[in-house]
Amino acid sequence: MKRSRSMARDRTPAGLVGAAPEAPFEITFDRRTLTALPGQTIAAALWSAGVLAWRTTRRDGRPSGVFCGIGQCYDCLATINDLPNRRACLVPARPGDVITTQEGHGHAELSV
């Protein structure tokens, strides 16, 4: 039997390996509820939701998000569950995580 092209397009990587992914869950970014998938990092979940920036730069206050995506550049710093300076591209998303935009160095309480 010859396979049709539509059958080939209907296949997915998860289907080919017989994967049964877990259910999506909710996280919060700046009081906005977003959906994350098991195995996603915070950065991947934010990107999937259309959020491209989640911190401001220390010197100029410009928006920033992921640059390298592998934890080397520190551009993706975020405040996650009240802990500042977490690299969003390395931290796995967990149900109920609360992410807030990090302003500058992330230690506003130390300002004089």
Quote the pTM value. 0.73
The pLDDT of residue 107 = 55
Secondary structure element (H or E) that encloses residue 5, with its range: helix 5-10
Q: What is the pLDDT of residues 69-107, one digit of tens each?
A: 888 888 889 999 999 999 999 999 999 999 999 886 655
Q: What is the pLDDT of residue 50?
A: 94
Nearest to 78 by CA among 47, 60, 55: 55
pLDDT of residue 20: 74
Domains and CATH numbers, the chain: 35-104 (3.10.20.440)
DSSP, res 109: G
49-75 pLDDT, tens digit each? 999 988 888 788 888 888 888 888 888
